[in-house]
Chain A
Amino acid sequence: KQEVTQIPAALSVPEGENLVLNCSFTDSAIYNLQWFRQDPGKGLTSLLLIQSSQREQTSGRLNASLDKSSGRSTLYIAASQPGDSATYLCAVRPEDSNYQLIWGAGTKLIIKP
């Protein structure tokens, strides 16, 4: 059974620092992996999607990497800003499903001004 883990559960860093959020999964048979952002009281917004054949995706200050064989993904945030404060969730789509997403519990990120 696929399990997705995100460590740490919470992270607080000063503004301007580069940081890495981690996501691990137990079954490498995935179709893709997505990183989402959730602001308090809001829905989830897709940030980056990495197909299983890809190693990384970039969008602005965000870079997501995928190492499928080791069951790991990282989300790198460069030059963090207070506006980056949110909960970040990763989700994997199993190879045998075209709609199911297996979710991590998220990392709550606080960027201190």
Chain B
Amino acid sequence: SQQGEEDPQALSIQEGENATMNCSYKTSINNLQWYRQNSGRGLVHLILIRSNEREKHSGRLRVTLDTSKKSSSLLITASRAADTASYFCATEGRAAGNKLTFGGGTRVLVKP
């Protein structure tokens, strides 16, 4: 079963706006990762945040992690049409042996 729930399920914004999506999970984790998937394609790793980290940046991406609330957020700033994709969070549980459990995903549409 999926550990993560993502919110919102879908998001439509104008180019240049920021996009924020949230992920909640249930059990203790080693790390949480965010991936992007373009339609019908494989997954591209975006960013990994460890359980002892609270915030991480990579280019236009900002990820936060709140282990007390078991939640994470992904912010894409100054969005571009090329950011249109589905975004998934995935958690690696403490006893998971590197296995990832994926959230339901957020479908982001960036309109030019």
A binds B: no
Give chain A's interface residues, CB within 8 Å of chain B.
none
